[in-house]
Structure 1
Amino acid sequence: MTTIATAHLTSAAAPAAFFARWADMATWPEWNADTEWVVLDGPFTQGATGTLKPRGGPKVAFTVELLDEHAFVDVSRLVGARLTFDHRIAPRAGGGSDLSVSVALTGPLRPLWMAILGKGIRDSLQRDLDALGRAAESNAPMRPEQNRH
């Protein structure tokens, strides 16, 4: 396995706000600049499948390999490789979330895909996670201290 990139974010939004954004895959292009469109073949559950279209690339099938209150892991099947996006989230004491995302490649054609995808993923992962944070915060319910005048 080769880790391509990692990104981290501390957000005022609760974990549920992030899971809501991840589940609404049709809106991924709003915060993921490298994604043209995403279609999920059913409900957002572990084992769900779908297709995504990266900007400038071919359609790619993916599977939600893990989905629980702490993680969302999706795996795209490339020719001779698997591209894994591992999203981890933890609630912060007093509200908000800590997130981390890592992207890894496995498989016999890993070096080829690393040459094709590596730089783009490294350049965009933190930017896209920051944009996801802004999107989640824009729809997050206000914390009690924000309601005071």
Structure 2
Amino acid sequence: MTFELEQTVTTSASPADVWALWSDPGTWHRWDPAVRSVAMEGHFAEGAAGTMELAGPMEAPFVLEIVEPGARYLDRLTIGDLVIRIDHVVVAAGDGAEVTVRTTIEGPGAEEIGPVVTQDTPRALEALTALAEGREE
């Protein structure tokens, strides 16, 4: 079973401003309401691994599968039999940026758990862009 959701927002922040937040896992809890804390081994690069403490509370190991500095990263979380991939893409658009987050969940019950996992995505995108624009939420 597979679940997918993609959401895109625009911001007056530059792609570099968005990337600065994305590439610093220590800030993830500031803009993603599902994340309490992140512990990552090594630098923000492909293959780096760590653990996220999620609301619930629950811990989930993650790996950065793709890192294209300044533009994109894809992280993979494993929770039981579920594999959750979250693809983050930022591109220049006008005087700001377009930010897209695509979540793909695979495994038993993915279609049922998907809406629960992604319910905070709009709030996370709003908080991310607010921080990137220099306005706190």
* 1:1-149 alignment runs, 5 A limit: 2-68=2-68, 69-93=70-94, 95-106=95-106, 110-115=107-112, 117-138=113-134
Question: d(CA) in 2 for partners of 1:121 and 1:80?
Answer: 15
1:66 touches 1:74 (CA, 8 Å); kept in 2? yes
Q: TM-score, normalised by structure 2?
A: 0.87
More strand by share: 2
Question: d(CA) in 2 for partners of 1:11 and 1:3?
Answer: 27
**RMSD between superposed Cα atoms in Å:** 1.8
Q: TM-score, normalised by structure 1?
A: 0.81
For structure 1, the 5+ residue unaligned runs are 140-149
For structure 2, the 5+ residue unaligned runs are none
Question: d(CA) in 1 for partners of 2:115 and 2:90?
Answer: 25
1:4 touches 1:121 (CA, 8 Å); kept in 2? no
Offset, 1:132 = 0.5
1:52 touches 1:61 (CA, 8 Å); kept in 2? yes
Offset, 1:114 = 4.2
1:50 touches 1:63 (CA, 8 Å); kept in 2? yes
Q: How many residues align?
A: 134
More helix by share: 1
Percent same amino acid among aligned pairs? 26
Question: d(CA) in 1 for partners of 2:50 and 2:83?
Answer: 15
Q: Which runs of 4+ in 1 moved over 3 A?
A: none
